[in-house]
Amino acid sequence: MTLSFSTTADAPETIATPCLVVGLFEGGRLGAAAERVDSASGGALSRLRESGDATGKPGSSTLLFSLPGIAAERVLAVGLGEPAKFDTAAFHRAVNESAKALGKLPIDSAASFLTMLEVPGRDAAWKLRTAALAADQHAYRYTATFKPKAKDAPKKPELGAIAFAVPQADEACARSLDEARAMASGVRFARELGNLPPNICNPAWIAAQAKDIAAKHAGVDLDVLEREDMEKLGMGSLLGVASGSANPPKLVVLRWNGGGEARPYALVGKGITFDSGGLSIKPGAGMEEMKFDMCGAAGVLGAFLAAVELKLALNLVCVVPAVENMPDGNSYRPSDILTSLSGLTIEVLNTDAEGRLILCDALTYTAQTFDPEVIIDAATLTGACVVALGKHASGLMTRDEELAAELLAAGEATHDRAWRLPLWDEYQSQLESGFADVANIGGKYAGAITAGCFLARFTNGRRWAHLDIAGTAWDEGRKGLATGRPVRLLTQYLIDRST
């Protein structure tokens, strides 16, 4: 079930809703909406604070039931921290905290006044979109593969609608909610695809999802290249990775024509539907997480979907190499030499460095076929990126200063942040091979960067950026879910480019 968004310009105490959300600062002050609720209820929030039950500390929240003088059934008071420190990051924290708390309640709708808080440097439209996306992020439930439960099991109502307070519902607010809806549907698409098990989400499944997008949206064209097509073209690198799998590879190409004759923007996503490591097999512990190795593909498809739903005025191509990396009698081997579509030969020193091997052919194909304005790839490419940046920032690599600035800004605006790593020529020597033009691994140091340097050899002379999302695409652990990153970053980048 998707969450539906609306706006309200009513006074907080008058809104009949299962739950009203207001902010509570630390120290003397309440938020403006909390102030109104306080006086309408005869000082309920002041007493709550004086008693010490609520502190207003960031990350805290308190639920009040049936307040006199308040039309809402419940009031959720969310801690905002100190008023002087209330900034973009604190706003994110508050809307996420509120979304988390709302998800635990047996309610189907809510109204939030957090969007009325002043955030330095941010306008009403930004606050609205940010709050809506946080709400949707927490409302998402993965249900695709659970067994059906008994019919008469009592079911807790689930949050299906949320209204956000605005000073007045204008054009900018409406636009902002449209963007939130499109980004949320792109994020949900990416998360669902990422969370599916690899026996369902194989290359053919990804191709079928792309077909579905094309069927449901006018103006979208689809091509799926089969193994034979790739053989004819000479994609020896991608096909090398695919050779150990019983699931044939697919190269999925979606096109959106919203920009007349303009050169397209191109998104390329790593679609390894399961990464066992191949013959350089991974250890058993944690291997299950490698079902998420197609999250780059899911991310670019999600951003494509969002761009199409917004009918952005630009041309866009989305290229997804979908391949499974498995050990087998037909597998490619360490020491194999592959000839890529570009003509460069590659010495395979580790079959677990497979992402770059499918991406290099996809990047060459994208550049040759579409002559794009810009190419951006997204890939769960290296464990080294997780070591370098952890779970909060995606690794951004590009030699184009302007493109770097645009992507970093898009990440900041949507709290889907990236951090730049260098692609200096000095790193290239780590990829030297005695048997081919390039080796597929670069040794112990700077693994995220040498992976980027490998891809750079296939994008020479192009405006190109690489996002390593190995740390950001899913949460770790048994119940870890796909996050839908970097759908928001990419969608924002495209929104900013469209006229």
Burial of 371 (0-12, 13-18, 19+ CB in 10 A): exposed
Are the CB atoms for 131 and 95 separated by under 8 Å? Answer: yes
CB of 354 to Mn ion, least distance (A): 5
Residue number, 112 or 276, with CB nearest to ligand BES: 276
Q: Which CB, 96 or 380, lies closer to ligand BES?
A: 380
Catalytic: 356? yes
Considering only residues 321 through 380, tell me which ones interact with ligand BES, judged by CB under 6 A.
350, 352-355, 380
Cβ proximity to Mn ion, 95 vs 388, nearer residue: 388
**Residue 275 interacts with Mn ion (CB under 5 A)?**
yes
d(CA 379, CA 40): 52
Contact status: 293 vs Zn ion (CB under 5 A): yes
Kindly tell me which of 90 and 441 has the beta carbon lying closer to ligand BES: 441
Number of residues located near Zn ion, criterion CB under 5 A: 4
Alpha carbon distance 38, 291 (integer Å): 50
Question: Which neighbouring-strand residues pair with 20?
Answer: 75, 111
- When asked if residue 423 is in the footprint of ligand BES (CB under 6 A), the reply is no
- CA distances to 56, 142, 239, 275, 463 from 436, rounded to whole Å, are 62, 45, 17, 25, 26
Q: Which of 293, 309, 336, 406 binds ligand BES (CB under 6 A)?
A: 293
Task: Find which of Zn ion, ligand BES, Mn ion, none residue 465 binds, CB within 5 to 8 Å per kind.
Answer: none
Alpha-carbon Rg of the chain, whole angstroms?
24
CB 390 within 8 A of CB 412: no
Rounded distance between C-alpha atoms, residue 92 and residue 132, angstroms: 11
Distance CA 412, CA 417 (A): 5
Inter-residue contact 209 to 301 (CB < 8 Å) = yes
Considering 74, 356, 485, 488, which one is annotated as catalytic? 356
| Residue 298 C-beta: closest distance to ligand BES, Å | 14
Residue 382 interacts, among ligand BES, Zn ion, Mn ion, none and using kind-specific CB cut-offs from 5 to 8 Å, with: ligand BES
Preceding peptide of 486 cis, ω within 30°: yes
Active-site residue identified among 175, 211, 227, 282? 282
Q: Where are the alpha helices (DSSP H) in 26-145?
A: 32-40, 44-50, 88-104, 124-139
CB of 264 to ligand BES, least distance (A): 28
Q: Rule CB under 6 A: say whether 383 interacts with ligand BES.
A: yes
CB of 389 vs ligand BES, minimal distance in Å = 12
Whether the Cβ atoms of residue 323 and residue 272 lie closer than 8 Å to each other:
yes
Q: Is 122 a catalytic residue?
A: no
Which residue in the set 240, 258, 296, 355 belongs to the binding site for Zn ion (CB under 5 A)? 355
CB of 3 to ligand BES, least distance (A): 29
Measure the CA angle with vertex 302, ends 122 and 480; round to 5°: 85
The residue range among 200-208, 236-244, 316-324, 382-390 that interacts with ligand BES, by the rule CB under 6 A, is 382-390
φ/ψ of 322, rounded to 5, equals: -110, 115
Residue type, 394: S
Q: Which does 12 bind (CB under 5 to 8 A by kind): Zn ion, Mn ion, ligand BES, none?
A: none
Nearer to Mn ion by C-beta: 352 or 377? 352
Q: Which of residues 341-400 bind Mn ion (CB under 5 A)?
A: 352, 354
Nearest approach, Cβ of 236 to ligand BES (angstroms)?
A: 19
CA angle (435, 360, 200) in 5-degree steps: 120
Contacting residue, 384, 396, 482, 495, with ligand BES by CB under 6 A: 384
User: Catalytic residue numbers?
Assistant: 282, 356
Binding positions for Zn ion, rule: CB under 5 A: 272, 275, 293, 355
Binding positions for ligand BES, rule: CB under 6 A: 275, 293, 350, 352-355, 380-384, 386, 441, 447, 470
